[in-house]
Amino acid sequence: MILIEDNRAPNPRRVRIFLAEKAIEVDRRHIDIMTGEHKTPDMVKRNPFMRIPVLELDDGTCIAEAMAICRYFEALHPEPPLFGTSPLEIGVIDMWQRRIELQLMHPIAFAFRHAHPKMAHLESPQIKEWSEVNLIRVKNVLDLLDDELADRQYIAGDKFSVADIDCLCAVDFMRVARVSLQDSHAHLKRWHAEVSSRPSASA
């Protein structure tokens, strides 16, 4: 199997961190989305939505979407569990993973892609007002997450999970939208320092 990715993008990084946490080695192929390599006929066959990462299995089956790829590997290698084990853990982790993806990662991407001139060919038309709206959303979610982390170690509870992987990738990606954690985000900064110190964070 091979993992097709752009190693600068946040979504492939989510998968790399997940694999590192499980000590899974997978061959990787880098493509450059800035030059449109994700839109070539071969890539469209693998993923008609023209997004990365894509995991191509030995039989040619392709799995796209970062969390779908992670769930595939979780089923193959359940230890250590990163999606939870009990019904409650699974539900809470899924809840927070989706919240982070939809309420933080997507707004960061929208803020960046609709404002930066170099992203114009990937986001057409660019809508400056949509970028500004999403910057406000990002800042509000950061405040909310800081409050949530006041009484627990990790995003979804007392165990490191895919929710933390998603949030780490989102917070680190904020630099492209010129957003950073503030002094008022003491709990979020504590969390970020802790998860950033894990060996998998450099995957």
Q: Are 108 and 177 in contact (CB under 8 A)?
A: yes
pLDDT in tens, the chain (203 residues): 999 999 989 999 999 999 999 999 999 999 999 899 999 999 999 999 999 999 999 999 999 999 999 999 999 999 999 999 999 999 999 999 999 999 999 999 998 888 776 777 777 788 889 899 999 999 999 999 999 999 999 999 999 999 999 999 999 999 988 899 999 999 999 999 999 999 999 99
Q: Are 164 and 195 in contact (CB under 8 A)?
A: yes
9: Cβ–Cβ under 8 A, 6 or more apart, which residues? 33, 52
- The DSSP code for 154 is B
Class of domain 87-198 (CATH, top level): mainly alpha
Q: Which amino acid is at 143?
A: D
pTM for the predicted model, two decimal places? 0.94
| Residue 71: both structure tokens together | 């769930």
- Note the CATH number of domain 2-76: 3.40.30.10
Dihedral sign of CA atoms 96, 198, 81, 175 in order: positive
Q: Are 70 and 97 in contact (CB under 8 A)?
A: no
> Can you give the residue ranges of every domain in the chain?
2-76, 87-198
